[in-house]
């Protein structure tokens, strides 16, 4: 009865794992399988952060056009109507006699058109250049968002590939444990092995199950994270193409002396440089407030007055120049200039610190990559020995010359080597993606 119960439990466990595998295979068939390039393309089209960045550029463009509008004539039309409730009385002396005369009309109408245009305004011209820098900064911020998005998609994509590789390793462990249990059960039924070996083989199968189930859950979670980064519906059935180990050749071919990118295109530094130019323009704009301004104006109006509504329209027009010469403002402009100069010094120090920290980060990434390459080479040689050791232990176990403990130890060493290699490739690709983001590479 104990053997039947044990056999039933084992068959049930096998059925559950096989069901998971079949379900996973069916899901892969129903899912949209995409490559890394396709994932990036979808993210750049669907991500809200990219859409926000594009709208920010559009908004800055409109603001720039609004600033240029100050160069054009400002034309406006106006009209007014006034009803006199009580006329004004004027007192005058005529031949020594005082007389009071009511002046004005009961109805007063005024209508006309006016225009003004700056002729000399150095401060306005600098503000136009400042608006152009606002657009340039918005474009660079949008580029930064795209670079960050590409890096996030890459890292999420690599995480899915790693999760799938971990599942494959643990699934192989489970299948080997199940195969060893079947062999041990045959030996136990034939009286050629102990009950301890039989129970231990069964325990190995049970211990392998949680890793299979947890690795399946990890794949599902990694795919959800990839979909979230891409900005698509989380209910979309999605799969990824490739394996994490296919990037090992790229890792082994990496040469830090030749492939280390520069910081010339780093988005953070470029944004800081644009901000420095903005401060320079703002400083010039403040200095140009000392320069006189000249504006032209024109007006053409009609005036009509009468006690009834039978008006006689009388036109009049004027044209003129307006000169404004700043003399004294309580040292306001002088203090503003000092303030902007201090801001320039602060920003310059920030740029130096940022560049220094970025170079440290770049050096750290190179050191990590060098470490990953060495770890992979060590794990590769270890894997070869671990595979041979496991094959020998498996043959010896089948011949009854090795215990299950020895076989488990050999398998544990093999699994550790396999996972170490896959995780090392994953760490390399994630670090490389971070380095590309740091360098400001758009592709």
Mean pLDDT of the chain: 86
* Count of structural domains, the chain: 1
Q: Are 254 and 305 in contact (CB under 8 A)?
A: no
pLDDT band at 377 (very low <50, low <70, confident <90, very high): very high
């770890």: which residue's tokens?
375
Segment 128-133 shows an average pLDDT of 88
Strand, coil or helix: what is 383?
helix
CA nearest to 66, candidates 139, 135, 131: 131
> CA-CA distance, 59 to 139, in Å (whole number)?
11
Q: Are 112 and 78 in contact (CB under 8 A)?
A: yes
Strand, coil or helix: what is 309?
coil
pLDDT for 30: 58
Q: pLDDT for 260-285, tens place per residue?
A: 888 899 999 999 999 999 999 999 99
Q: Give the containing element (helix H, strand E) for 11.
A: helix 2-30
- Cβ-in-10-Å burial (0-12, 13-18, 19+) of 12 comes to exposed
Give the global pTM: 0.78
Q: pLDDT for 67-105, tens place per residue?
A: 888 888 999 999 999 998 888 888 887 777 778 888 888
Residue 292, number of CB atoms within 10 A of its CB = 11
> CA-CA distance, 325 to 328, in Å (whole number)?
10
Segment 386-412 shows an average pLDDT of 83
Segment 368-394 shows an average pLDDT of 89
Q: Which domain holds residue 348?
A: 2-439
Q: Which two tokens stand for residue 300?
A: 């053409």
Q: Give the containing element (helix H, strand E) for 120.
A: strand 107-120
| Contacting residues for 215 by C-beta, under 8 A, at least 6 apart | 163, 166, 167, 170, 171
Task: Return the CATH number at 146.
Answer: 1.20.1600.10
């Amino acid at each position: 009865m104990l053997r039947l119960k044990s056999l039933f439990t084992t068959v049930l466990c096998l059925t559950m794992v096989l069901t998971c595998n079949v379900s996973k295979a069916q899901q892969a068939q129903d899912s949209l399988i995409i490559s890394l390039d396709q994932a990036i393309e979808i993210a750049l089209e669907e991500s809200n952060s990219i859409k926000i960045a594009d709208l920010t550029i559009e908004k800055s463009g409109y603001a720039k056009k609004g600033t240029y509008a100050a160069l054009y004539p400002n034309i406006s039309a106006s009209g007014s109507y006034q009803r006199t409730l009580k006329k004004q009385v004027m007192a005058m002396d005529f031949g020594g006699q005082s007389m009071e005369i009511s002046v004005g009309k009961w109805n007063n109408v005024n209508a006309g058109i006016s225009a003004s245009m700056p002729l000399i305004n150095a401060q306005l011209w600098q503000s136009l250049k400042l608006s152009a820098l606002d657009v340039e900064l918005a474009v660079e911020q949008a580029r930064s968002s795209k670079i960050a998005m590409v890096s996030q998609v890459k890292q999420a994509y690599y995480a899915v590939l790693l999760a799938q590789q971990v599942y494959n390793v643990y699934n192989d462990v489970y299948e080997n444990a199940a195969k060893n249990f079947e062999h041990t059960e045959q030996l136990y039924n034939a009286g050629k092995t102990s009950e301890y070996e039989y129970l231990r083989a069964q325990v190995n199968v049970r211990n392998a199950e949680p890793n299979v189930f947890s690795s399946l859950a990890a794949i599902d979670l990694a795919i959800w994270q990839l979909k979230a980064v891409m900005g698509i519906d989380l209910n979309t059935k999605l799969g990824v193409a490739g394996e994490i180990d296919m990037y090992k050749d790229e890792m082994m071919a990496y040469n830090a002396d030749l492939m280390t990118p520069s910081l010339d295109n780093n988005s953070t530094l470029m944004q800081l440089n644009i901000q420095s130019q903005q401060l320079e323009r703002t400083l010039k704009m403040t200095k140009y407030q000392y320069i006189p301004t000249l504006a032209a104006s024109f007006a053409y109006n009609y005036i009509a007055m009468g006690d009834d509504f039978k008006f006689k329209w009388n036109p009049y027009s004027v044209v003129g120049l307006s000169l404004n010469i700043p003399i004294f403002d309580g040292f306001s402009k002088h203090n503003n200039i000092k303030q902007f100069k201090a801001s320039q010094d602060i920003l310059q120090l920030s740029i130096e610190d940022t560049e220094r920290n970025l170079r440290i980060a770049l050096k750290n990434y190179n050191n990590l990559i060098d470490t990953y390459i060495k770890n992979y080479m060590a794990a590769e040689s270890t894997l070869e020995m671990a595979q041979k050791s496991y094959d020998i232990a498996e043959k010896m176990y089948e011949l009854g010359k090795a215990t299950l403990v020895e076989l488990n130890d050999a398998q544990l060493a093999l699994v550790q080597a396999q996972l170490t290699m896959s995780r090392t490739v994953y760490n390399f690709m994630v670090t490389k993606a971070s380095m590309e983001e740091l360098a400001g590479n758009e592709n």
